[in-house]
Structure 1
Amino acid sequence: MHRPVLEFWYEFASTYSYLAAMRIEAAAEEAGVALLWRPFLLGPIFAAQGWTTSPFNLFPGKGRYMWRDMEREAARLGLPFYRPDPFPQNGLLAARIALLGGDHGWGPAFTRAVYTAEFGQGRDISDPVVLSELLTELGVDATSALEKAETDANKTRLRRIGEEAQSRGIFGAPTFFAEDSEMFWGNDRLERALEWVVSDRARRTDFVV
């Protein structure tokens, strides 16, 4: 039987996307839900609101809370956590590579590796050398992957995904979409999103005759 699908929209600079990315596969498998990994960039979305950086930088009180909350949540999930410097990190190249990886089956593994390097080890994910090392560790030809990720076609594809994100009302990450286009925002809404996807599929199946 075809499994219901949950879209997982994530940005590599996003702290809470790190938490979601590291636990979403197990949660989705338990719920019987397939995942569609959608890397994108929040920068253009923030810029459209007149922001030049993360709201966690623009609003210091919110930022202080987020960093403490990340420490608590990472500890609860058994994940390492380092505060990146600078923050937010530039995830443009990583997103281009992850988009390419989605076509070849290694996108999710690469995504987890990038988040681990960034938030688990404090490494600079804008550095092509770091990303090359992560690809090599996954058994991917790093030179070929970087070349393909930087083609005009792949760059245009990522831009169009960003336009899609804006048209669908995404304002932060992680964001999840059910098959009926119901949107859920935040790592703490992952379970609710999975429940919705399953219940929505059940509701629509009930009307099949």
Structure 2
Amino acid sequence: MSRPVIQFWYEFASTYSYPAAIRVEDMAVQRGVELRWRPFLLGPIFAEAGWTTSPFNLLPVKGAYMWRDLERICAAAGLPFSRPDPFPQNGLKAARIATALAPEQVPSFSRAVYLAQFGERRQIDDETLLATLIARAGADAQEMLALSAGDEVKTRLRESVAEAKALGIFGAPSLTCADGELFWGNDRLEQAMDHALATHAATEGA
């Protein structure tokens, strides 16, 4: 019997993608949803809006709220939290690596990048760190670093950004369902799962 599919779109520099990435896989397993991890970049999308940095930096009062909110979310979930400096971090290398990895290696690598950045205040563009996280995910570090720097992976990541834009994605984390329904934010994971299950059941029963 087929399962509903959800695409989980995330940007490594995204603050709210941190708790979402930690919990989304277990949630999908518990609910019987097939989850596809989709790393992408928000920079090109923000640039089209005329933004040169995160909206949390452009509007300091919003940024101050976000950091306090993230502290509360992490405390409630038992997640370590340490505000990265600088913010936003450069997640390009990590996104290319996640694009290059085998699908079964992407979740563990992605969670490790978030924990390093928001839990340990590490610099996620550091290749020594990334090599360690690649190895922990079960891949050959030097092979993946070389592959992620190649034209094929760069093209695939650009295509992912273009696909995200076409789906109407403007922030992360975002989840898209098979019918094109879009859900944005760490606090919308449950709603996205419910929608995917309901629409899948309706389609299967038709």
Q: Whole-Å Cα distance in 2 between the matches of residues 33 and 177 of structure 1?
A: 12
Q: Whole-Å Cα distance in 2 between the matches of residues 142 and 104 of structure 1?
A: 16
- Segments of structure 2 that go 5 or more residues without pairing to the other structure are none
CA-based RMSD of the aligned residues comes to 0.9
How many residues in Structure 1 have an aligned counterpart in Structure 2? 206
2:175–2:189 Cα contact (<8 Å) kept: yes
Q: Hey, what does 2:48 align to over in structure 1? A: 48
Q: 1:44-71 deviations in whole A, cap 9, x for unaligned? A: 0000000000000000010000000000
Q: Hey, what does 2:176 align to over in structure 1? A: 177
Q: 1:97-122 deviations in whole A, cap 9, x for unaligned? A: 00111x35211110011011001110
Q: Whole-Å Cα distance in 1 between the matches of residues 45 and 138 of structure 2?
A: 34
TM-score after normalising by structure 1? 0.96
* Pairwise CA distance, 1:204: 1.0
Q: What is the correspondence of 1:43-192 to structure 2 with a 5 Å cutoff?
A: 43-101=43-101, 103-192=102-191
The AA in structure 1 aligned to 2:172 is A
* Pairwise CA distance, 1:138: 2.9
Secondary structure in structure 1 of the residue aligned to 2:6: strand
Q: 1:21-51 deviations in whole A, cap 9, x for unaligned? A: 0000111111110101000000000000000
- Segments of structure 1 that go 5 or more residues without pairing to the other structure are none
Secondary structure in structure 2 of the residue aligned to 1:105: helix
* Pairwise CA distance, 1:201: 0.6
1:10 is aligned to 2:10? yes
Q: Hey, what does 1:38 align to over in structure 2? A: 38
The AA in structure 2 aligned to 1:154 is V
Q: Whole-Å Cα distance in 1 between the matches of residues 37 and 164 of structure 2?
A: 13
* Pairwise CA distance, 1:203: 1.0
The AA in structure 2 aligned to 1:143 is Q
